[in-house]
């Protein structure tokens, strides 16, 4: 693995296996009464979040704190970008304070890649860039499936349902799940799931596109529901929320007919009654809470692994599993 985590694109399958294995050892820390280990003592992690976030920001913060790193959080409203400073100037200023790891979420696709090019001694982690990638989400989703199925997910059929076109979660998951040897179906209306996504030049030949919900769900092992990313839509992509929900909303009734064995993932935030019904979100097949738990463990694994690669970890941390 390189000394940044910018995307799943370019990662090797062994890198994903290493992170999954390391993350499995991190769960135990969160089950202790004193949820802290000294692995990253004396290291600094800056979380720079230029877009709203609940799960990702909180879990990166807790991950750093549980590993004893010094953690600083900066949000857009509290940063000097409000006074006209560019992202690059903000990042160079922060880098001058020698953080070991900079976790960045930004509305512009490619923003973390730009920072990684300029920051020579800081590891950059992409916590979601525009419509491009959200690698830690895909990795935590794989970890969730690993915990559920008892092995690294491979040979499964995963239906990703909803606004694939605007989703960085979808892109990173398509890359990660297909790299691990799963079949990925993309399901939604043509405006949100263009047929070209099935072209082998896009994601290889493991991806198929389905505009009928029933056909896309048929016999799936895993169903991943995605929110309509209306903040990224520049045109009208759906006639109305009601009509969208009627055709593509995932309900228990629909799952019982087409994918009775499927488990369900959702990265959050959920819009209940639109892309997912409450009977699914709160039901037995839902892995949503497990996803949040896995998010913390995976982000701990990412911080430890990067610090170790960078030679910045303590001797105990270089194995990851020594925690
Ligand atoms: C996702 C994101 O921000 O891309 N959320 C998350 O990180 N858990 C998905 C979304 O916003 O719909």
Q: Please indicate whether residue 313, judged by its CB atom, sits closer than 6 Å to ligand 1.
A: no
Domain match, 140 and 120 both: no
Q: How many CA atoms lie within 13 Å of 289's alpha carbon, on the beta-carbon side?
A: 7
- Residues 180 and 106 occupy one common structural domain: no
In sequence order, what are the beta bridge partners of 210?
Answer: 187
Which of 52, 56, 109, 291 is the best mutation target for the ligand 1 pocket, counting ligand atoms within 8 Å of the beta carbon and taking the most?
A: 56
Q: How many residues does the chain have?
A: 323
Q: Whose CA is nearest to atom 12 of ligand 1?
A: 227
Contact (Cβ atoms closer than 8 angstroms) between residue 107 and residue 130:
yes
For ligand 1, atom 7: residue with the closest CA:
56
Q: How far is the CA of 285 from the centre of ligand 1 (A)?
A: 21
Residue 205 falls inside a structural domain: yes
Neighbours of 247 (CB within 10 A): 14
What stretches of 100-148 adopt beta strand conformation (E)?
101-106, 123-129
Residues 317, 304 contacting (CB under 8 angstroms): yes
* Distance, CA of 41 to chain centre: 26
- Give pLDDT, residue 2: 52
Which tokens go with 237? 């992509």
Pair (122, 193) in one structural domain: no
119 and 140 part of one domain = no
User: For the domain that residue 280 is a member of, what is the CATH number?
Assistant: 3.40.50.1370
In a domain, 3, yes or no: no
Residue 272 lies in a domain: yes
User: Tens place of pLDDT for every residue, the chain, 323 residues?
Assistant: 458 999 999 999 999 999 999 999 999 999 999 999 999 999 999 999 999 899 999 999 999 999 999 999 998 887 787 788 999 898 889 889 999 999 999 999 999 999 999 888 899 999 999 999 999 999 999 999 999 999 999 999 999 999 999 999 999 999 999 999 999 999 999 999 999 999 988 888 889 999 999 999 999 999 999 999 888 887 778 889 999 999 999 999 999 999 999 999 999 999 999 999 999 999 999 999 999 999 999 999 999 999 998 774 443 333 322 22
Structurally, the chain folds into a number of domains equal to: 2
257 is in which domain, residue-wise?
135-291
> Are 73 and 145 part of one and the same domain?
no
Residues 187 and 41 in one domain: no
Cα of 268 from ligand 1 centre, angstroms: 6
Q: Give yes or no: residues 230 and 302 share one domain.
A: no
- Cβ burial of 260 (10 Å; 0-12, 13-18, 19+) is exposed
Compute the distance between CA of residue 243 and CA of residue 70 in angstroms, rounded to an integer: 48
Instruction: Please give the backbone phi and psi of residue 46, each rounded to the nearest 5 degrees, phi first.
Output: -110, 125
Within a domain: 314: no
Q: Looking at the structure, do residues 187 and 266 belong to the same domain, yes or no?
A: yes
**Do 155 and 286 have their domain in common?**
yes
Give me the pLDDT at residue 313, please.
41
Q: Check whether residue 114 and residue 57 sit in a common domain.
A: yes
Residue 319 lies in a domain: no
Joined tokens for residue 37: 């280990």
pLDDT of residue 56: 97
Cα–Cα distances (Å) from 52 to 56, 57, 164, in that order, read: 10, 9, 20
**282 and 148 part of one domain:** yes
């Amino acid at each position: 693995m390189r000394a940044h985590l910018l995307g799943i694109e370019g990662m090797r399958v062994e890198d994903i296996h290493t992170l999954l294995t390391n993350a499995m050892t991190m769960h135990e820390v969160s089950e202790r009464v004193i949820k802290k280990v000294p692995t990253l003592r004396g290291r600094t992690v800056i979380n720079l979040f230029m877009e709203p976030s609940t799960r990702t920001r909180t879990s990166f913060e807790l991950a750093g704190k549980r590993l004893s790193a010094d953690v600083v959080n900066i949000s857009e409203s509290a940063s000097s970008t409000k006074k006209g400073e560019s992202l690059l100037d903000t990042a160079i200023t922060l880098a001058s304070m020698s953080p070991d790891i900079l976790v960045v979420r930004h509305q512009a696709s490619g923003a973390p890649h730009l920072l990684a090019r300029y920051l020579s001694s800081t590891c950059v982690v992409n916590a979601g860039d525009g419509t491009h990638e959200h690698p830690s989400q895909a990795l935590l989703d794989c970890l969730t499936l690993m915990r559920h199925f008892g092995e690294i997910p491979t040979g499964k059929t995963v239906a990703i349902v909803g606004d694939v076109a605007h989703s960085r979660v979808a892109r990173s998951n398509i890359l990660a799940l297909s790299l691990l040897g799963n079949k990925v179906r993309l399901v939604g209306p043509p405006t949100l799931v263009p047929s070209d996504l099935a072209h082998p030049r896009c994601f290889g030949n493991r991806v198929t596109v389905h505009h009928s919900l029933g056909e896309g769900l048929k016999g799936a092992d895993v169903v991943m529901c995605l929110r309509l990313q209306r903040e990224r839509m520049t045109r009208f992509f759906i006639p109305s929320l009601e009509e969208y929900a009627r055709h593509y909303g995932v309900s228990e009734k629909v799952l019982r007919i087409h994918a009775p064995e499927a488990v369900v993932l959702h990265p959050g935030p959920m819009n209940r009654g639109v892309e997912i019904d409450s009977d699914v979100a709160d039901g037995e097949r839902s892995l949503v809470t497990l996803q949040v738990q896995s998010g913390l463990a995976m982000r701990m694994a990412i911080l430890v692994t990067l610090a170790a690669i960078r030679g910045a970890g303590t001797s105990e941390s270089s194995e990851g599993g020594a925690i």
